[in-house]
């Protein structure tokens, strides 16, 4: 008797695709399992929708006008916060409590005959306080040399020479690590006229910093759009506007009429 065999191929349960439910399509994984093809494609789609790139660049750009709007918005928010703090009344200390003693407040002890105490040796060593989260939504970095930064720089900028990226380790400062890939925060690089900032931004992206931006045009375009209030110090010659070209006629050597020979004076 011949046994009947099904012609259907047995499907491997490991290769079976799980049907997607659109109801839970917005749910994201809470555990970061590292780089994956899905994350890479999602990042490319986000960059394609929200940012513009040049054909030979892998980083994002920021216009000078957009940067100034960001600076003004952050300054206004800080002013409002300061006004709210000033309006609050300080909490008075109870009458039976005195301010805590410090290393310099030993006058009361001397008056009572106790003498000066070595407070630094008596106090137990305290662990370093944890770093506070960044308060500004952007970190502005000047990638020029330190001397050029001290002569002239954009307000709220910090010096980060591009030579730091040539280190084999510790090439990022603690501020960069605090802002790197943090949601709602960006890192902005600039120089005078894009001499070295594009290369620095490329290295940032290659080393895993995805929220880095390049200030388009550098200080030259920024000074042309906002000549006052945004840059401090004396501008370098590379940021100054070039003189208008003079006409070709003015560049030529003026021609003088040929000198006539001396004629005899008639008697």
- CB count in 10 Å sphere of residue 77: 13
- Nearest by Cα to 194 from 213, 228, 219: 219
- CA triple 131-133-138, angle to 5 deg: 125
Length of the chain: 267
Cα 187-70-142 angle, rounded to 5 deg: 40
The contacts of residue 32 (CB under 8 Å, 6+ apart) are: none
Q: How far apart are CA 203 and CA 209, in angstroms?
A: 9
- Cα separation of 174 and 129, whole Å? 15
Q: What are the DSSP E strand ranges found in 70-220?
A: 138-142, 152-154, 157-159, 186-190, 212-215
Q: What confidence score (pLDDT) does residue 14 get?
A: 80
pLDDT at position 157, please? 92
Q: Which domains does the chain have, with CATH numbers?
A: 44-78+135-236 (3.40.250.10)
Backbone φ and ψ of 67, nearest 5°: -65, -40
15: its two tokens: 């290769």
pLDDT digits (tens, 9 = 90+) for 94-113: 555 555 555 444 445 544 55
Per-residue pLDDT of the chain (267 residues; tens, 9 = 90+): 555 555 556 778 788 887 888 888 778 777 877 777 877 777 667 666 655 556 677 888 888 888 888 888 888 888 887 777 666 666 665 555 555 555 444 445 544 555 444 444 455 556 665 666 677 899 999 999 999 999 999 998 999 999 999 888 889 999 999 999 998 899 999 998 888 999 999 999 999 898 999 998 889 888 888 888 888 888 888 777 766 665 555 555 556 555 555 555 555
**Which tokens in the block code for residue 147?**
């001397």
Which pLDDT score, from 0 to 100, does residue 176 have?
93
Residue 53 CA: distances (Å) to CA of 31, 47, 88, 105, 219: 31, 9, 47, 60, 20
- 147-195 pLDDT per residue, tens: 999 999 999 899 999 999 988 888 999 999 999 999 889 999 999 888 8
| CB contact at 8 A, 158 and 175 | yes
Extended beta strands in 78-160, E state:
138-142, 152-154, 157-159
Q: Tell me what pLDDT residue 133 has.
A: 67
Give the CA angle between residues 106, 108, 114 to the nearest 5°: 75
59 contacts 213 by C-beta, under 8 angstroms: yes
State the pTM of this model: 0.60
β-sheet bridge partners, residue 227: none
Per the prediction, the chain carries an average pLDDT of: 76
């Amino acid at each position: 008797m011949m046994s009947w065999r099904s012609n259907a191929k047995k499907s491997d349960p490991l290769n079976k695709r799980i049907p997607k439910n659109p109801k839970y399509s917005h749910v994201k994984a809470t555990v970061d399992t590292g780089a994956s093809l899905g994350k890479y494609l999602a990042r490319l789609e986000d960059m394609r929708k929200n940012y513009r790139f040049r054909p030979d660049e892998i980083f994002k750009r920021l216009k000078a006008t957009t940067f100034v709007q960001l600076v003004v918005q952050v300054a206004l928010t800080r002013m409002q916060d300061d006004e709210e703090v000033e309006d609050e009344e300080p909490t008075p200390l109870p009458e039976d409590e005195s301010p805590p003693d410090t290393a310099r407040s030993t006058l009361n002890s001397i008056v009572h005959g106790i003498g000066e105490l070595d407070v630094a040796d008596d106090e137990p060593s305290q662990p370093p306080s944890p770093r506070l989260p960044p308060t500004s939504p952007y970190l502005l970095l000047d990638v020029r040399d330190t001397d050029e930064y001290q002569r002239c720089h954009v307000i709220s900028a910090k010096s980060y020479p591009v030579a730091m990226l040539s280190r084999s380790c510790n090439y990022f400062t603690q501020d960069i690590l605090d802002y790197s890939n943090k949601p709602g925060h960006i890192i902005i690089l600039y120089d005078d006229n894009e001499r070295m900032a594009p290369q620095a931004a490329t290295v940032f992206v290659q080393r895993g910093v995805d929220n880095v931006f390049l200030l388009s045009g550098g200080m030259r375009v920024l000074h042309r759009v906002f000549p006052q209030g945004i840059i401090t110090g004396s501008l370098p010659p590379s940021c100054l506007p070039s003189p208008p070209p003079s006409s070709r006629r003015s560049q030529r050597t003026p021609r003088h009429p040929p000198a006539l020979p001396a004629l005899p004076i008639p008697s």
